[in-house]
């Protein structure tokens, strides 16, 4: 799935192990810890880095078929913050589900990248791209 660009060796390794339809979580600083999920904590201080910064670094090199976020995100954040997330996820199917369901789904992730983000409900679940079985391989 990875193409180029990620300098962090743990994140690069994690991305290389994600397969089609697997999920990866990019979480804010308050997201629960799941002992069974590989967690890479890159939080430094409040809002460094942010979920959108990590998504922006991953997106050019990672095939994302869909993104899921908590429904509560829209109620708890300004229109400006919502617009920033909409721009960052443009062109990808974005669905919302209750935060409790998002955490349950997150427990099935291949890995989780924890950021220092303080944006309410900024967590995103990325579903990796699917193989196009009709695509012909180059010879």
Catalytic residue from among 19, 20, 83, 130: 20
State both tokens at 8: 């962090």
Cα dihedral sign for 62, 64, 16, 7?
positive
Q: Quick one: three-class SS letters along 23-74?
A: EEEEECCCCCCCCCCEEEECCCECCECCHHHHHHHHHHHCCEEEEEEECHHH
Residue 20 known to be catalytic = yes
Catalytic residue numbers, as ranges: 20
């Amino acid at each position: 799935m990875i193409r180029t660009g990620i300098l962090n060796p743990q994140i690069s390794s994690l991305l290389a192990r994600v397969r089609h339809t697997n999920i990866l979580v990019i979480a804010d600083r308050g997201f629960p810890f799941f002992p069974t999920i590989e967690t890479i904590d890159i939080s430094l201080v409040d809002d460094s880095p942010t979920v959108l910064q990590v998504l922006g670094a991953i997106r050019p090199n990672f095939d994302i078929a869909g993104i899921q976020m908590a429904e509560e995100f829209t109620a708890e954040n300004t229109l400006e913050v919502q617009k920033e997330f909409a721009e960052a996820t443009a062109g990808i199917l974005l669905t919302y589900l209750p935060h409790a369901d998002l955490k349950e789904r997150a427990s099935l992730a291949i890995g989780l990248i924890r950021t220092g983000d303080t944006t309410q409900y900024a967590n995103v679940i990325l579903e990796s791209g699917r193989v196009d079985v009709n695509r012909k391989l180059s010879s």
